[in-house]
Amino acid sequence: MYKILTIVGARPQFIKAAAVSRAILDEFSTVLNEVIVHTGQHYDENMSQVFFDELEIPRPAVNLAVKASSHGAMTGRMLEQIEELILSEQPDAILIYGDTNSTLAGALAASKLHVPVFHVEAGLRSFNMKMPEEVNRILSDRVSSLLFCPTDSAAENLSAEGINQGVSVVGDVMFDVALFYQDLAKEKSRLIGELDLSGTKYVLATCHRAENTDSFERLSEILRGLAAIAEQYPVVLPLHPRTKKLIENYELSNLLAKIVLLDPLPYLDMIALEQGATAIVTDSGGVQKEAFFCGVPCITMRDETEWIETVALGANTLTGADAGKILSAFESSQSSESSRWAAKPYGDGQASKAIAQHMINFLNSKEGS
């Protein structure tokens, strides 16, 4: 049996890991032994433990409890502890997800100890090196033995960088998750009724990226855009703790007067809100895709996106942090045609099984060499 050390630390990773962990447990448990490591990057109860409970995946065997701090300090502490864990656990490979500091720390620790790195969501590029996530992606891809691409364009990005070995287009694990949990969210979530939004057109918004929240100008423009939409429809904004603190520091709370503010939501409640929304306004990569999976128009408050397929299909509009463009894109989105969601650029919902099988094939070949 092969031991796989899975490194996760943030909400999007918990969601992606749920799909692969389920595939391992359901179909590959006699070959793969997964040990889940939570770095602690998201340590709020609503942003971590509740996800493992709701998504019904094994609780982490280890929690490193490395809480938020500067990028360098956080990554350094994770790197040190993951290295110790690799030495004690002696895994056959490390499995990492996405673009966080947890991902980079796992990749660096494993590569320096000559342990194979398997990267889910490899090859994505925003081509904005000011984004910490972009740096994390590029460095993690560079040291990975298996690179699991969610789309053809992600594989093309890797090829352009000279990375062709170990690359597989498997589809998007988040599509796997969406297919599994959408009906469950409708069944279990009561949030829309509790917010008195049943049968009402409303807009769901999220904002958390440092490029937006660390800038007074960008954050104020975003909040003005949301406030303008709130003059027409209710705007529901689950507020990331860091974003909330920065809004207070910038003295922008007055722009939230007509916005429905919520704490970070459990996954099923978030999916239910996404399904019922008339539009979604976000700077999140994961929420962009979830909007697409739900057939809901998306307005992305960034200057670029890794999920170019959604833009090409007309299901997603990039506005940057510009209040006027945000409002205009929202108004235009209300006439979107349903055909925009007919394409299937993110696979067939079987990415997780493909990933597990590729891992087994790689480790079998390594053992036989």
Could you give the CA distance from residue 134 to residue 350 in angstroms, rounded to a whole number? 26
For residue 218, give the 3-state DSSP assignment: helix
Catalytic, out of 38, 42, 119, 208: 208
- CB distance 317 to 333 below 8 Å: yes
85-114 in b/e form (b: 16+ CB < 10 A) is bbeeeebbbbbbbbbbbbbbbbbbbbbeee
* 208 classed as catalytic: yes
DSSP letters, 74-107, are HHHHHHHHHHHHHHHH--SEEEEETTSHHHHHHH
List alpha helices for 113-240, DSSP H. 132-142, 152-160, 173-188, 191-194, 210-213, 216-230
Could you give the CA distance from residue 95 to residue 84 in angstroms, rounded to a whole number? 16
- CB distance 314 to 332 below 8 Å: no
SS3 for 231-270 is CCCCEEEECCHHHHHHHHHCCCHHHHCCCEEECCCCHHHH
Residues annotated as part of the active site: 208
